């Protein structure tokens, strides 16, 4: 037991949330810190303690890391798994960079690409479902072969991907399968909470808000990590503005329960304080360091590990995240339960295999993890497309991901804040929060419209 009353160790070793398991090896090095939600990762780390050599989280490596192949291809086969943010951008840029004799195949189980950021507007009735989706089949016009199917196996040895109906050989594989939402791992979630992070859940929240005439509303985050660190905060702000517009704000109590010690912990104290201040100014009850224990649907209660229970009439939940089953069974995931990719090149340890977006676990220079967010999936996809195109053409790949990213924080009333920063900065990410205003809101709307037109 190590006393840590002033929280120095806590801030150094965690992503800013509790509970946190940290496993220290015999030589005193940290083998595993539960920055990521994954029981399998923890079990694997314990097993690793008793095995030699001990598997370790990769340290941030430079772009100079081994360039695995330089031979040019006559007809390369590039398979992209997932048609979300990262997969879509990778397919688009690869197709633009490569001549038509090279195949670019994109596989997703869903027929449509969904622009997830807009789910929050949909939730408060400012968007409809058809406005924020685009058919992936349209990519055929650009020469991307889209296959709608469940991906069932990634065979790294044979360089083959198997879907329910077909197999695809690849020379290059881009894994962008995102994070699987696991509401089923929280007993009572389906009975008591709405899934804030998917299309159906957002539609149901909208219907529930329309019918809401007063009472308590909770936004809750049971575990880390979760994608888009700003989204639950934006949800609380939008719900608060919705209630005001409906003239029921005085009858509504709004709570936000999170295991984080501040909003967006990786972005640093100043950003956290700014967002916490905005919550306070709007009368939103903020419960940081909330160690979620369970839901009691029969009493409509959310219960913390210290036994305290809060009654909520309407509960919006961020389900636990984990790597999709097909990735977990592929041998691609590391000790974190996610894929460890090179921070600059997004290469995995398997030749010709890249991983981007939410499925990755990228360690920052300060030991914390790069947040899971579309802005990073987008930039990483461009880097990977450039890397592969160079290699296919027989050139030395030079593209490198710089770890820069930004996000809008929607506040309701047609206003938003904006945070932007360098996440690979040393010793800590350098993130700046700009004062909120209408301009940032319109920036977010413009980006949404650009996204939904540019790729399709
Ligand atoms: C409400 C909300 C708001 C958000 N707002 C923002 C924001 O403002 N800014 C920001 O940067 N990020 C935001 N994000 C996060 C952003 O959407 C994700 O970080 C981003 O989409 C990750 O991209 P990805 O390609 O890694 O995964 P995804 O976009 O999740 O794509 C994964 C794809 O893989 C497919 N797939 C998975 N498993 C299989 C399988 N076995 N077979 C076939 N297909 C499969 C899925 O169908 C999916 O299409 C938000 C997310 C949510 C939920």
pLDDT at 66: 43
Percent of the chain with pLDDT over 70: 89
The span from the CA of 174 to the CA of 85, in Å, is 13
In this predicted structure, which of 67-81, 267-281, 413-427 has the lowest mean pLDDT? Answer: 67-81
Residue 176 C-alpha to ligand 1 middle, in angstroms? 9
Residue 179 C-alpha to ligand 1 middle, in angstroms? 7
CA 135 to chain centre: 22
Closest residue to atom 7 of ligand 1, CA basis: 117
Q: Which pair of tokens denotes residue 209?
A: 């808000």
The span from the CA of 381 to the CA of 88, in Å, is 8
450: CB partners within 8 A, 6+ apart: none
Residue 356 C-alpha to ligand 1 middle, in angstroms? 11
Mind listing the pLDDT tens digit for each residue in 307-363? 999 999 999 999 999 999 999 999 999 888 899 999 999 999 999 999 999 999 999
pLDDT at 103: 97
pLDDT at 15: 59
Closest residue to atom 8 of ligand 1, CA basis: 117
Q: Is the CB of 328 under 6 A from ligand 1?
A: no
pLDDT band of 366, cuts 50, 70, 90: confident
Closest residue to atom 52 of ligand 1, CA basis: 116
Q: Is the CB of 405 under 6 A from ligand 1?
A: no
Q: Please list the residue range(s) of the chain that carry CATH number 3.50.50.60.
A: 77-179+323-401, 181-320
Mind listing the pLDDT tens digit for each residue in 208-233? 999 999 999 999 999 989 999 999 99
Residue 173 pLDDT exceeds 50: yes
- How does the average pLDDT of the chain come out, rounded? 91
pLDDT at 232: 98
Residue 178 C-alpha to ligand 1 middle, in angstroms? 5
pLDDT at 35: 56
Percent of the chain with pLDDT over 90: 80
The span from the CA of 339 to the CA of 377, in Å, is 14
Q: What CATH class does 181-320 carry? A: alpha beta
77-179+323-401 homologous superfamily: FAD/NAD(P)-binding domain (3.50.50.60)
Mind listing the pLDDT tens digit for each residue in 13-64? 665 665 566 777 777 777 776 655 455 666 667 777 776 554 455 544 444 4
Mind listing the pLDDT tens digit for each residue in 110-130? 999 999 999 999 999 999 999
Q: Is the CB of 330 under 6 A from ligand 1?
A: no
For residue 413, give the nearest of 434, 447, 441, 444 by alpha carbon. 441
Residue 254 pLDDT exceeds 90: yes
pLDDT at 368: 85
List, as one string, the DSSP characters of 229-263: TTHHHHHHHHHHHHHHHTT-GGGEEEEEE-SBSSS
- pTM listed for this prediction: 0.90
Mind listing the pLDDT tens digit for each residue in 387-406? 999 999 999 999 999 999 99
Residue 312 C-alpha to ligand 1 middle, in angstroms? 28
């Amino acid at each position: 037991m190590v006393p840590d009353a002033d929280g120095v160790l806590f801030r150094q070793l965690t992503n800013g949330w509790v509970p946190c398991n940290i496993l220290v090896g015999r030589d005193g090095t940290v083998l595993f810190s539960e920055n990521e939600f994954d029981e399998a990762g923890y079990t694997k780390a314990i097993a690793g303690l008793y095995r030699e050599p001990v598997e370790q989280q990769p340290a941030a490596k430079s772009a100079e890391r081994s360039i695995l192949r330089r031979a040019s291809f006559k007809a390369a086969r590039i398979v992209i798994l997932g048609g979300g943010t990262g997969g879509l951008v990778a397919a688009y840029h690869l197709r633009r960079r490569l001549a038509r004799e090279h195949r670019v195949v994109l596989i997703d189980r869903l027929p449509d690409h969904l622009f997830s950021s807009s789910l929050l507007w949909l939730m408060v009735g400012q968007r409809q479902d058809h406005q924020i989706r685009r058919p992936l089949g349209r990519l055929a016009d650009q020469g991307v072969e889209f296959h709608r199917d469940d991906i069932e196996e990634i065979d790294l040895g044979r360089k083959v991907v198997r879907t329910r109906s077909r197999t695809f050989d690849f020379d290059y594989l881009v894994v962008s399968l995102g994070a699987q939402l696991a509401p089923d791992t929280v007993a009572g979630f389906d009975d008591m909470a709405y899934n804030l992070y998917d299309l159906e859940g957002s539609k149901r929240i909208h219907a529930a808000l329309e019918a809401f005439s007063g009472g308590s509303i909770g936004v809750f985050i049971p575990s880390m990590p979760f994608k888009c660190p700003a989204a639950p905060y934006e949800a609380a702000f939008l719900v608060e503005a919705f209630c005001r517009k409906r003239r029921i704000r005085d009858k509504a109590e709004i709570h936000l329960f999170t295991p984080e010690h501040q909003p967006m912990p990786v972005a640093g104290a100043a950003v956290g304080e700014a967002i916490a201040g905005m919550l306070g100014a709007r009368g939103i009850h903020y419960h940081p360091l909330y160690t979620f224990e369970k839901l009691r649907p029969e009493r409509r209660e959310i219960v913390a590990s210290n036994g305290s229970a809060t009654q909520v009439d309407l509960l919006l939940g961020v389900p636990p995240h984990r790597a999709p089953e097909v990735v977990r069974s592929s041998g691609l995931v590391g000790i974190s339960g996610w894929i460890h990719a090179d921070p600059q090149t997004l290469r995995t340890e398997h030749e010709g295999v890249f991983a981007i977006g939410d499925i990755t676990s990228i360690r920052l220079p300060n030991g914390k993890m790069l947040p899971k967010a579309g802005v990073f999936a987008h930039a990483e996809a461009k880097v990977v497309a450039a890397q592969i195109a160079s290699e296919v053409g027989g050139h030395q790949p030079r593209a490198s991901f710089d770890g820069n990213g930004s996000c809008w924080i929607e506040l309701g009333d047609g206003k938003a804040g904006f945070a932007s920063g360098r996440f690979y900065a040393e010793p800590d990410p350098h993130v700046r929060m700009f004062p909120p205003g209408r301009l940032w809101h319109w920036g977010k709307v413009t980006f949404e419209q650009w996204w939904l037109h540019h790729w399709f």
